[in-house]
Amino acid sequence: MRRTILIVHPGTLGDVLLALPAIRALQMALPTHELGMVAGAEVGGLLRVCGEVEAVLPLEGDALAGLLAGPESVGPIVHEWLSRCDLGVCWMADPDNRLSSTLQGLGAGCVIARSPASLGHEAIHQTDRVLQTVRDVALMGEYGGRLHLPDVVIAGGRTRLATAGTFGTRPLVAIHPGSGSRHKCADPALLAGAVEWFQTNEAYPVLVGGPADEGMIANVSDACATRPAILQHLDLLSIAGVLAHADLFVGHDSGLTHLAAALHLPTVALFGPTDRRRWAPRGPHVTILTGEPCRCEGWNVVQECRDKPCLRIPAEKLVGTCEQLLRRPRMVSQSPLEATLSPCSAQ
């Protein structure tokens, strides 16, 4: 039986994708090991079908709850995985060392439990913070290669677009009007104006999103003189398959924006109250647009702010940026660099 690595990451889609370089660094450090991940079922499933991890232990089950409750509460699948585990990495707070103790007690040889959100990190960007937590066991480097979707997922996206009448010769622009919070979203009129520009300039805009985005999608669609195509209520893999065919993606600080960037789509990310220096997706294919610098101190103040000057992005700036990106040839990225394991010294 192969030895294993176990990663625990309870974050949302965007948080997990920001940790993808560190996940790759760990896999490169122990290339013969089987890498498993305690994560949300959808985001974990995405990484599994893309070949980034080999097994997913869903948060929706009892994997994390059992680890936090103690060795006697750990289910048989997790128990067996840990019996072969040489490295356990937990990207969450573990103030009483309960999680670390359980992992070590069930066989994990080396355990790193460090939250990227904790104080004391030298790095600013979240990706660098996560990488910093594992620098004792993996070589630092560039691990920002494109996320590769299976052919069947891409084919499914083509079918959905064709059924919606959006698959043709014109450039396809995917627009995600929502985010994890409405306080991170620009005025729907801004995106509606972009939709209308695409419609009159030989591009095909389609609004995409999940169930939580229904209200924001409706707001943008209602503000358009001609309603655009809409693809929503899709699971994450289905949305990824649709995005794979897009020539341009426009969104806010959201998980889908990070997914588009991970797929190396030309991506326009609209940032406002969240710090782009820490949370923005990276890469030469990503353009960040903002309004005025955010003056709110703390998320409670952000929630009370009505004017949102940080998200007042001039319409002509958004349209001009999109026009330039649609004219630019698509870039093809290289695979992540290989790395080797260095001794484990973090306990």
What would the two tokens of residue 334 be? 């290289």
Residues 176 and 129 in one domain: no
Average pLDDT of every residue of the chain: 89
pLDDT digits (tens, 9 = 90+) for 261-316: 999 999 999 999 988 999 999 999 999 999 998 887 877 878 877 788 889 999 99
pLDDT confidence bin for 143, thresholds 50/70/90: confident
Residue 95's pLDDT is 85
Question: Does the residue 181 lie in any domain?
Answer: yes
Question: Does the residue 226 lie in any domain?
Answer: yes
Residues 60 and 94 in one domain: yes
Question: Distance from CA of residue 26 to its chain's centroid?
Answer: 18
Residues 189 and 125 in one domain: no
Residue 343's pLDDT is 35
Residues 72 and 175 in one domain: no
pLDDT digits (tens, 9 = 90+) for 51-105: 999 999 999 888 999 999 889 999 999 999 999 999 999 999 888 899 999 999 9
Question: Is residue 206 predicted with pLDDT exceeding 90?
Answer: yes
Residues 125 and 206 in one domain: no
Question: Does the residue 292 lie in any domain?
Answer: yes
Question: Does the residue 244 lie in any domain?
Answer: yes
Residues 293 and 221: their CA atoms lie apart, in Å, by: 28
Question: Does the residue 158 lie in any domain?
Answer: yes
Residues 50 and 181 in one domain: no
Residues 161 and 100 in one domain: no
> 315: domain range?
151-327
pLDDT digits (tens, 9 = 90+) for 104-139: 999 999 999 988 887 566 778 999 999 999 999 988
**Of the residues 104, 133, 162, the one at which a domain ends:** 133
Residue 108's pLDDT is 93
Question: Is residue 331 predicted with pLDDT exceeding 70?
Answer: no
Average pLDDT over residues 226-239: 93
Residues 236 and 97 in one domain: no
Distances from the Cα of 263 to the Cα of 14, 178, 249, 257, 331, angstroms = 13, 19, 11, 10, 11
The candidate with the shortest Cα–Cα distance to 278, out of 15, 13, 63, 49, is 15
pLDDT confidence bin for 180, thresholds 50/70/90: confident
What would the two tokens of residue 78 be? 């997790």
Question: Is residue 334 predicted with pLDDT exceeding 80?
Answer: no
Residues 246 and 289 in one domain: yes
Number of folded domains that form the chain: 2
Residues 246 and 106 in one domain: no
Question: Distance from CA of residue 201 to its chain's centroid?
Answer: 30
Residue 293's pLDDT is 87
CA atoms within 13 A on the CB side of 36: 25
Residues 214 and 115 in one domain: no
Residue 299's pLDDT is 79
Residue 118's pLDDT is 73
Question: Does the residue 193 lie in any domain?
Answer: yes
Question: Does the residue 287 lie in any domain?
Answer: yes
Residues 175 and 322 in one domain: yes
Q: Which strand (E) or helix (H) includes residue 219?
A: helix 214-222
Residue 173's pLDDT is 97
Question: Does the residue 347 lie in any domain?
Answer: no
Question: What percentage of the chain reaches a pLDDT higher than 70?
Answer: 93
Residue 91's pLDDT is 95
Amino acid at 283: G
Question: Is residue 335 predicted with pLDDT exceeding 80?
Answer: no
pTM above 0.85, yes or no: yes
User: What CATH number is given to the structural domain containing 175?
Assistant: 3.40.50.2000
